[in-house]
């Protein structure tokens, strides 16, 4: 049986794909596979992946005929993966040599449903280590216990799918597939579902994923309508959390995180195209009205002055107009 499947979606990243593939080659092992998913690239990325199929051991290649987005591309990879363990990488990032073997050893040692790892953020020549916001290391525990407290950054606020590794039993339970069609924030419902429904996890001090920031083609750098999918993503978080047996305890955390994301986008609204900016205001106001109003009021009152002011202004936006635009 394949021990580890590394799922790597690619879309128009020809400039960076060679670095990514070189790092996979440096992690090759006879019982590892690399599931490469070309999400209908138009810039020559597909040719780079075809060459890699003959040069890197364990490559499994899949291609979409139409661009479907990161969430669906990852699901295509999951459906093709055969490993006992599964991890992810984005097509413009890279891995340290030997990192995959360290992931497998940690999973074998700890026996958890999933592990979360640190990573390195790369912006030009700058390097910054980003840590899992979870103090205990190498200690298996219930992932529900890492959702709260409400007012502190916790493991559900560290959503990066590639910063971890996941046991096949989670694939079989349907816990690590993504919501098809989400074009951004696809990892938010995903990380919340993992923490609510998986049985065990641990944070480990491995440092081998290099996350390239500031890439011009990344959705984090593009101000078009796809950015607003964070609203649909967090509506899903709230809907699923509301059905949880511990909804009373968990919902304030979900609402606070949703509000923080809305406020963040409001603070950077100038980067959006005008029509998208209007959509953010209308859809954001509608989202606030959909939230439990008692929890929303407590959340806004507890935030810092700038975020509270932005959210109060948005909350006063006429609801009828917001509902019609949503």
pLDDT tens by residue, 255-272: 999 999 999 999 999 999
Q: Under a CB-based contact definition with an 8 Å cutoff, are residues 256 and 299 in contact?
A: yes
On average, the pLDDT of the chain sits at 94
Residues 6+ apart with CB under 8 A from 63: 37, 38, 40, 46
For the chain, list the domains and their CATH numbers. Answer: 4-219 (3.90.550.10), 223-325 (no CATH)
For residue 223, the model assigns a pLDDT of 62
- Condensed to tens digits (0 to 9), the pLDDT of residues 49-68 reads 999 998 999 999 999 999 99
What confidence category does residue 1 fall into, taking pLDDT thresholds of 50, 70 and 90? Answer: confident
Helix ranges, 111-177 (H): 168-172
pLDDT, tens digit (0-9, with 9 covering 90-100), for 127-170: 999 999 999 999 999 999 999 999 999 999 999 999 999 999 99
Read off the DSSP letter of residue 141.
Answer: B
Question: What confidence score (pLDDT) does residue 224 get?
Answer: 79
For helices 247-267 and 305-315, give the axis angle rounded to 10 degrees: 90
Burial letters 259-288, b for 16+ CB under 10 A, else e: bebbbebbeeeeebeeebbebbbbbbbbbb
Q: Which of 111-115, 219-223, 322-326 has the lowest mean pLDDT?
A: 322-326
The mean pLDDT of 226-251, rounded to a whole number, is 97
Q: Is the pLDDT of residue 218 over 80?
A: no
Q: What is the pLDDT of residues 262-310, one digit of tens each?
A: 999 999 999 999 999 999 999 999 999 999 999 999 999 999 999 999 9
Q: At how many degrees (to 10) do helices 274-290 and 229-242 cross?
A: 10
pLDDT exceeds cutoff 70 at 221:
no
**pTM score, whole prediction:** 0.93
- pLDDT value at 322 more than 50: no
């Amino acid at each position: 049986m394949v021990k580890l499947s590394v799922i790597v979606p690619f879309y128009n990243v020809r400039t960076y794909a060679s670095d990514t593939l070189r790092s996979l080659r440096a992690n090759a092992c006879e019982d590892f596979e690399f599931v490469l998913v070309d999400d209908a690239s138009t810039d020559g990325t597909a040719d780079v992946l075809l060459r890699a199929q003959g040069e890197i051991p364990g490559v499994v290649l899949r291609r979409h005929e139409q661009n479907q987005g990161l969430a669906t591309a990852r699901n295509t990879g999951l459906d093709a993966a055969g490993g006992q363990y599964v991890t992810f990488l984005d097509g413009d990032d890279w891995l340290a040599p030997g990192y995959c073997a360290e992931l497998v050893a940690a999973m074998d040692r700890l026996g958890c449903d999933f592990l979360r790892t640190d990573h390195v953020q790369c912006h030009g020549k700058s390097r910054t280590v980003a840590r899992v916001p979870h103090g205990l290391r190498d200690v298996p525990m219930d992932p529900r216990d890492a959702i709260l407290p409400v007012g502190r950054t916790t493991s559900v606020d560290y959503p990066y799918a590639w910063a971890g590794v996941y046991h096949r039993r989670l694939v079989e339970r349907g816990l690590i597939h993504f919501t098809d069609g989400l074009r951004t924030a696809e990892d938010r419902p995903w990380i919340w579902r993992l923490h609510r429904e998986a049985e065990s996890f641990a944070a480990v001090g491995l440092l081998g994923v290099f996350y390239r920031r500031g890439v011009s083609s990344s959705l984090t750098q593009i101000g078009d309508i796809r950015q607003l999918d964070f609203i649909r993503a967090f509506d899903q978080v709230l809907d699923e959390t509301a059905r949880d047996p511990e909804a009373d305890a968990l919902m304030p955390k979900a609402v606070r995180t949703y509000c923080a994301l809305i406020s963040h986008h409001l603070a950077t609204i100038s980067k959006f195209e005008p029509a998208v900016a209007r959509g953010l205001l209308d859809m954001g106001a509608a989202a606030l009205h959909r939230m439990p109003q008692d929890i929303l009021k407590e959340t806004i009152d507890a935030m810092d002055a700038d975020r509270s002011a932005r959210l109060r202004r948005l909350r006063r936006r006429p609801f009828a107009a917001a509902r019609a635009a949503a």
